[in-house]
Amino acid sequence: MTGAALALYVLALVVLFGVRSWVQRRRTGHTGFHGISGTPADAGWWGGVLFVAAVVLGLAGPLLAVIDVVPADPPPALQVVGLVVALLGFAATLAAQTGMGASWRIGVDPGERTELVTSGVFAHVRNPIFIAMTIAQLGVLLMVPTWVSAAALIALVVAVQLQVRAVEEPYLRSVHGPTYDTYAARAGRFVPGIGRLDGTIRLTGAA
């Protein structure tokens, strides 16, 4: 099953980043990648660095298990559950990416203005891509329960929190103003109904 986890992870990277960026470039003329911005003094910079680390560790986990550098021998039932969770997570990530259409980006360009997507799953959750990726990584951890895969999940959770709270929410509020305030007041941050923002206050008073 460690081999299946490695194959699934590689396939997910190719589809979610490679193919998706190719489609984005054909549609908009831009791959959607903005990379890591800021300096080590910025929380957003650390979010970008940790996101890259999470992807690398996520790949390293099953790879090191396959070549027996880091042993992993979970019960078969746990591996099956992990496979189902990972498949659902990766499928949900792709669906959410597709739902963003031309507005899909990795990273933020402060000078760029994209359409605010509030339909579909985004009507209930503001960051479905991030939560779906976290679920997928949890599935990989269940398939390959090693410290490397656990570190990948922790790095991803921290990266997502930093990216959303320190970078994306301030950017969206500055670009879309009251429209984003109204949207964020009704849609949860990662889970429906949880993490909604009070449209009458700034992020320092956010839930």
Instruction: Look at residue 158 in the predicted model and tell me its pLDDT.
Output: 97
Q: What is the per-residue DSSP string for 152-167?
A: HHHHHHHHHHHIIIII
Domains and CATH numbers, the chain: 2-205 (1.20.120.1630)
Instruction: Answer yes or no: pTM beyond 0.85.
Output: yes
Structure tokens that stand for 104 in this block: 């899909």
Q: Across residues 192-205, what is the average pLDDT?
A: 67
Q: Which amino acid is at 90?
A: F
Instruction: Look at residue 204 in the predicted model and tell me its pLDDT.
Output: 41
Where is average pLDDT lowest: 10-19, 67-76, 81-90, 132-141? 67-76
Where is average pLDDT lowest: 34-43, 71-80, 148-157? 34-43
Residue closest to 167 by CA, chosen among 90, 93, 105, 119: 105
Instruction: Look at residue 205 in the predicted model and tell me its pLDDT.
Output: 39
Q: How far apart are the C-alpha atoms of 117 and 197, rounded to whole Å? A: 17
Summarised one tens digit per residue, pLDDT across range 94-123 is: 999 999 888 888 878 777 788 899 999 999
Checking if the pLDDT of 180 tops 90, the result is yes
Band (pLDDT 50/70/90 cuts) for residue 11 is very high
Instruction: Look at residue 178 in the predicted model and tell me its pLDDT.
Output: 92
Under 8 Å between Cβ of 129 and 166: no
The residues with which 194 forms a beta bridge, in sequence order, are: 191
Backbone angles phi, psi at 33, to 5 degrees: -90, 125
Instruction: Look at residue 203 in the predicted model and tell me its pLDDT.
Output: 42
Checking if the pLDDT of 206 tops 90, the result is no
Instruction: Look at residue 200 in the predicted model and tell me its pLDDT.
Output: 47
